[in-house]
Amino acid sequence: MKPTLKNQLDAFTQACRDKDLRLTPQRLEIFKELARATDHPTAEILHQRLMQGMPTLSLDTVYRTLGTFANLGLVNKVETSESQAHFEVSQVQHHHLICRECKEIIDFQWQYIDNASLPEEVHSWGRIDRKNIVVYGTCHKCLKS
Amino acid sequence: MKPTLKNQLDAFTQACRDKDLRLTPQRLEIFKELARATDHPTAEILHQRLMQGMPTLSLDTVYRTLGTFANLGLVNKVETSESQAHFEVSQVQHHHLICRECKEIIDFQWQYIDNASLPEEVHSWGRIDRKNIVVYGTCHKCLKS
DNA sequence: TCCTATTTAGTAATAATTCTTATGTAGATT
DNA sequence: AATCTACATAAGAATTATTACTAAATAGGA
């Protein structure tokens, strides 16, 4: 069950208050744009989209803000082996499928893994906060062409 | 059971022949150095190490060569959310533990997952070639300090 | 409304990776 | 073994991705 945009915004504004983070229009817009996105945009792409409604927004602010959000756990930096970082708003636990050809990133869920407990050696390594699966392959669209 | 360095080198030279890849001293040294490494070095660190024995080796060659090897599946680019790419020689299937503090990357095995089959939606997405788990957390060393 | 610490825009700087080009060389052919 | 040629390399320049600096703007509390 995906949270509604409104729920996400409420959680967001609450998190800002909790963390003494000022609720600036830039932060709000960046968060909303990312929450609205179904792809996993890079900072640059997000910046381009936001420029429509906020022509003076700087790319640096997008990077800085995404970094801040990521530290608070409000957004995730998606692990890829690409050079540009991709972002998403933290939702329910999920994993990623990445096409080696077109680089498209798709979410999927896999409860079997979410519920599985990690091997003992991992627990003795330290404190875990996130386990994420990244599956690489080639999507049908690219296989056809 | 970890393959011996000799086995890896044989597999490497064979792969070069198969793929019409010239067996240059640079390629050989880069591969050997990476096979010998137990950490997951970046191109830059690998370059530094290699400079000991090959003072004229250029950083660009290390990047180019690692890229070539990665395409052939001889080495893996480790998925991290850091900006510098980390590399490893492809070994038996394994996964990665990454400490958010010190950024150290540790390998671990998890047969439970290796043997599990992915959800149906993933199979219908396309052809899969690798499923990798990246676990983020904080290692004991960093928890203590 | 005013104050002040935080945040931002604009631009400069740095870091990571890739490209360009002249030279070198692996490996096939003789 | 000598020659040839397409591919690979070194060196440095160029690009790309991200972060830092600084003066001006502003969120949110007094």
- What positions of strand C are covered by protein, i.e. any atom < 7 Å from a CB? 6-12, 15-20, 25-27
Task: Please state, as a whole number, how many other Cβ atoms lie within 10 Å of the Cβ of residue B60.
Answer: 10
Tens digits of residue pLDDT in B90-106: 888 999 999 988 889 99
Q: Which residues of A touch B102 (CB under 8 A)?
A: none
Q: What is the pLDDT of residue B2?
A: 65
pTM: 0.88
Percent of chain B whose predicted confidence (pLDDT) is above 70: 99
- pLDDT greater at residue A50 or residue B79: A50
pLDDT of residue B101: 87
**pLDDT score recorded for residue B1:** 63
Proportion of chain A in helix, strand, coil states, percent, rounded to 5: 45, 25, 30
Whether the pLDDT of residue B110 is over 80: the answer is yes
Q: Decide: A54 and A29 in contact? Cβ < 8 Å.
A: yes
Per-residue model confidence (pLDDT) at position A90: 84
Q: In terms of CA atoms, which chain B residue is nearest residue A121?
A: B108
Task: State whether residue A144 sits within 8 Å of chain B by CB.
Answer: no
Compare all CA atoms of chain A with the CA of B76 and give the residue at the minimum distance. A81
Q: With CA atoms as reference, report the closest residue to A136 among A81, A76, A78, A77.
A: A81
pLDDT at A52: 93
- Tens-digit pLDDT profile for chain A (145 aa)? 667 878 888 889 999 999 889 999 999 999 999 999 999 999 999 999 999 999 999 999 999 999 999 989 899 999 887 888 999 998 889 999 999 888 899 999 999 999 999 999 999 999 998 888 889 999 999 998 8
Q: What does the block give as tokens for B81?
A: 């959310």
Q: Does A109 touch chain B (CB under 8 A)?
A: yes
- Calculate the CA B1 to chain-centre distance: 17
Check if the beta carbon of residue B34 is closer than 8 Å to that of residue B11: no
pLDDT for position A44: 95
